[in-house]
Amino acid sequence: MLLLVGLGNPGAKYAGNRHNIGFMAVDALARAYALGPWRKKFRSDVAEGSIDGVRVLAMKPRTFYNDSGHAVAEAARFYKIAANDIVVFYDEIDLAPGRFRMKTGGGAAGNNGIRSIAAWYDDDNFRRARLGTGHPGHADLVQGHVLSDFPKAEREWVHKLLDAVVKAAPLLVHGEDDKYQAEVMRLAPAEKSGGRAKPQLDNDGD
């Protein structure tokens, strides 16, 4: 089984936040591949099904973003899911808006949700699907940035990126992360303007 985790905060007040693009990605996958119905389990909303013949469990932790690891570890241990079969979709402020990068393992880069998963699961070698939302330009502005809704001017690229994440998903579930990243960006090439990443950190790698 593949565990597809979206990071975000539960509740209507957070639904349109940049911090919730991980939830948006998992919701889009669940709709497109008829996963479900959604039910409450593992301190989360979960929906089970298959994508291109691969059994998947979509998960949206209800523990709030910064404590997502509690829910993820509970589900992973119940199903005996290895780290390389966990994919976490989340907002990445150090990627420009609309950029998309896959990464396996490595540090949390200041992301408390990723740090929580690594701590609770006791292994950071899970796969990360990083959805660029841009940096506000100063550390003091980050919290307000991630907890604000996508403005109307950005919703077109958000929709295109989520659509690409869905259409390319067969590559993801078969472990073709490099090809998945390339296909997502082919289907939804990021605009060269309209937002920015934190210049000294956006090297499209790490």
**Domain boundaries of the chain, sorted by first residue:** 2-187
76 and 121 Cβ atoms separated by less than 8 Å: yes
Return the DSSP state at 189. Answer: P
pLDDT at residue number 199? 42
Nearby residues of 205 by Cβ (< 8 Å), 6 or more positions away: 101
pLDDT at residue number 192? 63
pLDDT at residue number 109? 87
Q: What is the pTM of this model?
A: 0.92
Residues in the chain where the model's pLDDT stays below 70: 192-206
**Residues designated catalytic:** 19
pLDDT at residue number 87? 98
pLDDT at residue number 164? 98
State both tokens at 8: 């975000």
pLDDT at residue number 196? 53
Top CATH class of 2-187 equals alpha beta
CA distance 156 to 139: 26
